[in-house]
């Protein structure tokens, strides 16, 4: 789906296959001009099943992999993320998030909000990450 805004800014839905979000009636994300707005990503496998039940490290890795997959589908990547919101079920994992930010993002690191929440889409989900990124061709500032 592509829409035109009054200012002729192109807006397009970011799609991945398989789309594990389709049953929930939401988009993986949208590209608006040179910016990508990515829905909260979690540790879902290609069948829509949550992986790593009870294991934060496995869920965090899969969540970052899913975030990267959607970013690539939209013409960007983790290196171009400018803002993330990270939702944790347990703030005791904050130190691990700092390590994961260094592993998956590059300097200058994105702006970040980290929140502890009582629940996510599933009681077994331990992490969710939403992001805003710049498209690859428009991200010369980070090279």
- 35-41 β-sheet, strand order: 2-4, 10-14, 29-32, 35-41, 127-134, 81-88, 111-116
pLDDT (tens, 9 = 90+) of the chain, 143 residues, equals 444 555 678 899 999 999 988 888 999 999 999 999 999 999 999 999 999 999 999 999 999 999 999 999 999 999 999 999 999 999 999 999 999 999 999 999 999 999 999 999 999 999 999 999 999 877 665 54
Query: What pTM, to 2 d.p., does this model score?
Result: 0.90
Task: For each of the domains in the chain, give its residue range(s) and CATH number, in order of start.
Answer: 2-142 (3.30.1330.40)
Residue 110's alpha-carbon distances to 42, 64, 85, 87, in angstroms, are 19, 14, 10, 15
**Torsions phi, psi of 121, nearest 5?**
-60, -25
């Amino acid at each position: 789906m592509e829409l035109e805004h009054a200012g002729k800014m192109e807006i397009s839905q970011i799609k991945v296959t398989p789309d594990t979000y389709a049953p929930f009636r939401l988009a993986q994300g949208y590209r608006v001009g040179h910016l990508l707005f990515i829905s909260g990503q979690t540790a879902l496998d290609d069948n829509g099943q949550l992986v790593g039940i009870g294991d934060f490290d496995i869920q965090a890795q899969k969540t970052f992999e899913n975030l990267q997959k959607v970013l690539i589908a939209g013409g960007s990547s983790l290196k171009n993320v400018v803002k993330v919101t990270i939702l944790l079920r347990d703030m005791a994992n904050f130190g691990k998030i700092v390590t994961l930010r260094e592993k998956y993002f590059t300097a200058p690191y994105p702006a970040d909000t980290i929140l502890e929440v009582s629940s996510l889409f599933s009681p077994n989900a331990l992490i969710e990450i939403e992001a805003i990124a710049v498209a690859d061709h428009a991200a010369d500032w980070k090279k």
